[in-house]
Amino acid sequence: MDISITELLSALCDCSLSGVSWKRRALGGVSRESFHRALKKRAYGALLSNLFQDGTKGPAPGLSATANTPPRNKVLMICFDLRVAGCREEAERLEEQLGRLPEGGYSGLKEVDAVLDLLVNLAGSAPPPPTSFSRDYMRRERPVLRMPQPWSYQSEDLQRLEARAWGLVCGEEWGTLESLYGTQRLMDAPPGTGLLTLRTKLEAEERFEKETRLTLFGALQHTRTSDMDIRLDLPPIPSNIDVTGLAIRVPPCLDQCEDEGFQSASNLTPDSQSEPSPIPDFDIWEALRTFEPGRRRCWESVGW
């Protein structure tokens, strides 16, 4: 299995600190985590100083491991530390700014290396910025990259773990957006739309259902009744049979004598005549003219 450089150095520091007892405060109250970070930083410094060592000059005795390191290489070491810490954008921006600077030995500006050395010594001396969750996700002070590309020394296990995490995050976001847009479409739709249509049969319909689908009585039959077989074309009734019609009570203002399904010349009986209704009379045309749909999603009655 491939192991990254950071994992090797972390394991090396763990092995070095395995024999130290942290229960006693013999180190001045220093925690294991802080001592581990300091030891890891020294290991990075020793490793990178050997990699970027200037071969033209020999190491002077009594100096630190990075004393003979050129200032530009020190800046590159800081860039590496930033990449290890996860600050890839800052590391790339620092490398870009470093590439714009001319070489001190060829440009005639000896102060460039001195300024770089001063900046390296000042690195990390500023107080840490206040941590805030809303800095990147709410205020958008800097662009937040989605699915950043992994760099070369990132382990394969960590890549798989981040891929699974990003998959879960994207799934939750898509589900939330779908629910949000569905609710918004339902709330912004006009009344009576977006409701579920209940149908007992899919495609195979009887001839009677097709004939009565577009009529008022057929609409009543399909929406209000389910166990009744009501047909408009009644057979002829002999005159010597006592027939009692349906007691349909219709308000006088809505008396529809010519409408099918209510009254006709063939089935007009005294019981089916319009009777006084307790519902107060109103002008249906005035109610339709002044009607305004409400924001609630329910069945609305005009004029009631």
Phi, psi of 147 (to 5 degrees): 55, 60
Residues 6+ apart with CB under 8 A from 271: 244, 245, 246, 247
Residue whose entry in the numeric block shows the structure tokens 């799934």: 171
Residues 6+ apart with CB under 8 A from 244: 269, 271
Report pLDDT for 231.
55
Residues 6+ apart with CB under 8 A from 232: 212, 215, 217, 260, 261
Report pLDDT for 23.
59
Residues 6+ apart with CB under 8 A from 72: 98, 113, 116
Report pLDDT for 225.
45
Report pLDDT for 266.
53
Check if the beta carbon of residue 290 is closer than 8 Å to that of residue 284: no
Report pLDDT for 297.
46
Q: Which of 72, 82, 79, 84 is nearest to 5 (CA)?
A: 84
Instruction: Per-residue pLDDT tens, the chain, 304 aa: give them.
Output: 556 667 777 787 777 777 666 655 555 566 777 777 887 777 777 766 655 555 555 555 545 556 677 888 888 888 888 888 788 888 888 888 888 887 655 555 667 778 888 888 877 766 666 554 444 444 455 555 555 665 555 667 777 888 888 889 999 999 899 888 888 887 777 765 655 543 444 444 566 566 555 555 555 655 544 445 555 555 666 676 665 554 555 555 555 555 555 555 555 555 555 555 566 666 777 777 777 765 554 444 444 4
3-class secondary structure for 237-296?
Answer: CCCCCCCCCCCCCCCHHHCCCCCCCCCCCCCCCHHHCCCCCCCCCCCHHHHHHCCCCCCC
Cα separation of the two ends of the chain: 77
Give the three-state DSSP class for 168. Answer: helix
Report pLDDT for 100.
82
- CA trace torsion 89, 94, 97, 102 (10° rounding): -150
Report pLDDT for 298.
46
pTM over 0.85: no
Report pLDDT for 21.
65
Report pLDDT for 215.
59
